[in-house]
Structure formats: structure tokens, C-alpha cells
Amino acid sequence: MKYPKLRELKEAVRSLFSRPYTNDFPRQPHKPFERFRGKAQFSQEQCIGCTACVQVCPARALEFQDEVANGKGKRTLTIRWDICIFCGQCQANCPTEKGITLGNEFELSKTEERNTMRQKIEKELVLCECCSEIIAPKDQILWVARKIGPLVFSNVSLMLFYLANLGLSGTGHLQDKQEGELKRADRIKVLCPRCRREAVLKS
């Protein structure tokens, strides 16, 4: 017959008179650790709509949809908490580091419809002045312009959009659509890469 180890027996007796290792949740609120990965949320101010978080989400809990109507574009980003695995890849790969963050909230169970367990934000899209193709979200372009500083003036589209946002140039031409063949003067417009290439080759 094998006797239990004295160390294990001592630990068992000691646990009878010591406090439990676990907390008294749900009777008392639980305070997660500082680096706890809980409910992920978008920040309307810090998110630039680049969809980097969507590309790295292994659970496909993040998605986006682009809509263009009447010469205006809109990007809708959605996070679904019902299928999120709280891995933190979205926060780790966010260019601004604050566009989407994981908080300390972990009580996400609900008896309501699953459609309520999601968050949506919308971002304005910048369209090509010639073909109306989507270039990028407005916030992303402005973020890149601030990030590269004076180098913004090496790119015509970036420069024009940045100056228009500062009110240093007219903004009316940004909504006009160019009809017909591209000309040399069209190089000084906010263009998508395809139209920019054609304008440069034809000039």
C-alpha cells in the first residue's frame, strides 16, 4: 500500500483553513488583470478605416462593406462579439494602436438576438475624380499625410487632399467626375493608381 506524500497531505490540510484562490464572482464583481483581453471596441475618432484588423482576424469576427452612391462613398466596419475569440490580433496590428482596443469587459452573454452583439462604425471614402473608384477612407489619407509630414507634397493626390482638408485649396473639384480621355492637366487631381498611371503615360 502506497501512502500519500507528506507534502501533498500538508497542502491539503492547509487549504482547509486558508482563503480560496478564486474570487466570489458573480456575487461580487471581478476585477480583471491589467493586460486582460476582453470586449473589443472600435474608436470612432481613432479608427482610420484601413481594415488592417479585418485582414488579421482569425475568427472572422470583423468585416467591412463599401457602398458608393450619388458620388459619395461610405465604408461600414462591423465587429461581432458573439464569434470573437479575444486573441488581440486586431489591436496588435492597428496602425494607430487605438483604432480598436480590447477592454476589461467580459460579461457578454445575452438572451437577446445575436444581432445586438455587434458594433458598427462608418467612415467616409475618397473616390477617384476621374473614374469614381474607391481610393481609401478620408481618415486614413489624413493619417498618412500627418505621419509622413513634408513628404506629403511628393504625391499629388495626397497633397491636394491634405491642402483641401486644411482649407488652403478649393474642395469643389474633389466631387467632380472627369468624362472622356485623360489629359495632361488631369495629373493635378485626386486620382486612383490606374488613372494616375494613364494620365502620366498620356502626358
pLDDT by 10s per residue, the chain, length 203: 466 677 888 888 888 888 777 777 777 887 888 888 889 999 999 999 999 999 999 999 999 999 998 889 999 999 999 899 999 999 999 999 999 999 888 888 777 778 888 999 999 999 988 888 899 999 999 999 889 988 988 888 888 888 888 776 654 444 444 455 666 667 788 888 888 888 888 76
Angle between helices 156-166 and 138-148 (to 10 degrees): 100
Per-residue model confidence (pLDDT) at position 188: 80
Choose among 85, 79, 32: nearest CA to 54. 79
CATH numbers and ranges of domains, the chain: 35-126 (3.30.70.3270), 128-203 (no CATH)
Chain position carrying cell 489629359 = 183
Report pTM.
0.76
Say how far apart CA 89 and CA 91 lie, in whole Å: 6
Per-residue model confidence (pLDDT) at position 44: 93
DSSP assignment letter at 119: E
Say how far apart CA 183 and CA 203 lie, in whole Å: 7
Per-residue model confidence (pLDDT) at position 168: 67
Chain position carrying cell 486586431 = 90
DSSP assignment letter at 2: P
Per-residue model confidence (pLDDT) at position 179: 54
Say how far apart CA 144 and CA 158 lie, in whole Å: 9
Per-residue model confidence (pLDDT) at position 16: 82
Contacts of 200 (CB under 8 A, 6+ apart): 187
Per-residue model confidence (pLDDT) at position 203: 66
Per-residue model confidence (pLDDT) at position 90: 94
3-state secondary structure 3-70: CCCHHHHHHHHHHHCCCCCCCCCCCCCCCCCCCCCCCEEECCCCCCCCCHHHHHCCCCCEEEEEEEEC
Per-residue model confidence (pLDDT) at position 170: 56
Per-residue model confidence (pLDDT) at position 174: 44
